[in-house]
Structures are given as C-alpha cells and as structure tokens.
C-alpha cells in the first residue's frame, strides 16, 4: 500500500507540473496578441501622413506645360541668339514641364522687361495678355490679373489665361499675315512696348 501510495503521489505531482506548464504557455500567447494590436495601429499612421502630403498640393499650382508654352512665347522676342534669353526660349520649346517650372521665375525676369521683384506668374500673364487685351472680356481680365501681383490668384488662373492669351496672340499674328514672315514663328512681339504700357497702367491705377 505504501508503494502504491507513493506512485499515486508521484503521478499527482507530475500532473500538477504539466498543468502549470500549460498555463504558462497560455500566458505567453497573450503578449503576442497584445503586441499585434499596436502594430495594426501603427499601420494606420502612414494614412495620416498621406493626408498631410495631400495638404502640400492644396494650393493652386500652374502646370509645367503651360509655363513652357509661355516661356517659348515671351522669350522669343528677347532671344538674341545667345545668352540667357536664348536658353530660356529654347527651354520653352523643349517642353519639359519640371524644367520649365524650375527655371520659370529666372526666365521671366530675363525675358520680360521691368519684371524684377514681381510675382513671376503674374508678370508673365501681364506681358502675355497685353497685346491681345479685349478691353472688357476674358482676355482683359487675364491682363489685369497680371498686374494684381498675387501669386495664389495668378497660379489659380494661369493655365486658363495662358491658353486663351496664347490662342489670341496666334490669331492676331495670323491676321496680320506674319505667321511665317521674318522667322517670327507666330509670336507677337512684346517686351519694351508692354513695359511702357505697364508703367502707364500703374499711373492710371
């Protein structure tokens, strides 16, 4: 009986030990699940970051394509065959939107008289739309917009104004019969004439 009692006690001790180990395994699983939850929470963080990224483009931005077309037009008259104006003229015709956007401010200052210190997009519209100002229509509005010198406003309307003023300049040139004369390539001359008109506009305003 004593031997049987000892065997029974031994089995009871082994069973208790196994039960303890089993409980220990269950406890170890809990931190894995708990650690998983913060991992999922962190997965949502990039979404918030992405929302911040979207905010970076919330303001109006003029397209690089439109800036290229405007540079090609405005820098034509200033192109003497060499130097910065010639490089800006060629930049406009290369039609690399990123490159045009990067060089736009410097090229406007180079190609548009008395534009130093002005908002480049505005100065460009003022020059581009001057020759085709229709006095009381959308072309006039775009010309006047150029003299407002508000970067956000000019950026918001730049693509639209560039499109209609470039089309009007082309039509004006074709109407004058000079689309192929003198190697002008359909460009309306501006520069100094608009600088004088701009000064007069400033005085009238």
Q: Which tokens hold the place of 189? A: 């001359």
- Quick one: DSSP state of residue 182? G
SS3 letters for the chain?
CHHHHHHHHHHHHHHHHHHHHHHHHHHHHHHHHHHHHHHHHHHCHHHHHHHHHHHHCCCCCCCHHHHHHHHHHHHHHHCCCCCHHHHHHHHHHHCCHHHHHHHHHHHHHHHCCCCCCCCHHHHHHHHHHHCCCCCCCHHHHHHHHHHHCCHHHHHHHHHHHHHHHHHHHHHHHHHCCCCCHHHCCCCCCCCHHHHHHHHHHHHHC
User: What pLDDT, in 10s, does the model give residues 141-157?
Assistant: 999 999 899 999 999 99
User: What pLDDT, in 10s, does the model give residues 1-19?
Assistant: 454 455 445 544 445 444 4
Phi and psi (nearest 5°) for 113? -60, 140
Handedness of CA 72, 73, 75, 79 (dihedral sign): positive
Place of tokens 């200052």: 109
Determine, yes or no, domain membership for 144.
yes
Determine, yes or no, domain membership for 13.
no
Determine, yes or no, domain membership for 83.
yes
Determine, yes or no, domain membership for 73.
yes
Region 34-61 average pLDDT: 42
Q: How far is CA 70 from the centre of its chain?
A: 17
Determine, yes or no, domain membership for 121.
yes
User: What pLDDT, in 10s, does the model give residues 102-137?
Assistant: 999 999 999 999 888 899 999 999 999 999 999 889
| Residue 121 structural domain | 64-178+190-204
Determine, yes or no, domain membership for 21.
no
Q: What is the tally of structural domains in the chain?
A: 1
pLDDT value of residue 20:
42
Determine, yes or no, domain membership for 50.
no
Determine, yes or no, domain membership for 122.
yes
User: What pLDDT, in 10s, does the model give residues 89-106?
Assistant: 999 999 899 999 999 999
């Amino acid at each position: 009986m004593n031997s049987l009692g000892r065997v029974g006690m031994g089995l009871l001790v082994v069973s208790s030990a196994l039960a303890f180990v089993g409980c220990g395994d269950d406890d170890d699983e809990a931190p894995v699940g708990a650690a998983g939850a913060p991992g999922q929470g962190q997965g949502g963080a990039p979404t918030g970051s992405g929302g911040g990224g979207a905010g970076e483009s919330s303001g109006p931005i003029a397209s690089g394509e439109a800036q290229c077309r405007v540079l090609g037009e405005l820098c034509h008259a200033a192109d003497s065959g060499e130097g910065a104006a010639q490089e800006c003229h060629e930049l406009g015709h290369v039609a690399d939107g990123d490159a045009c956007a990067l060089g736009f401010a410097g090229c406007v200052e180079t190609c548009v008289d008395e534009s130093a210190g002005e908002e480049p997009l505005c100065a460009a519209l003022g020059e581009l739309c001057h020759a085709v100002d229709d006095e009381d229509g959308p072309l006039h509005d775009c010309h006047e917009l150029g003299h407002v010198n508000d970067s956000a406003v000019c950026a918001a309307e730049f693509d639209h104004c560039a499109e209609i003023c470039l089309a009007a300049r082309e039509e004006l040139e074709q109407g004058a019969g000079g689309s192929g004369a003198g190697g002008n390539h359909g460009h309306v001359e501006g520069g100094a004439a608009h600088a004088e008109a701009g000064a007069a506009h400033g005085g009238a305003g």
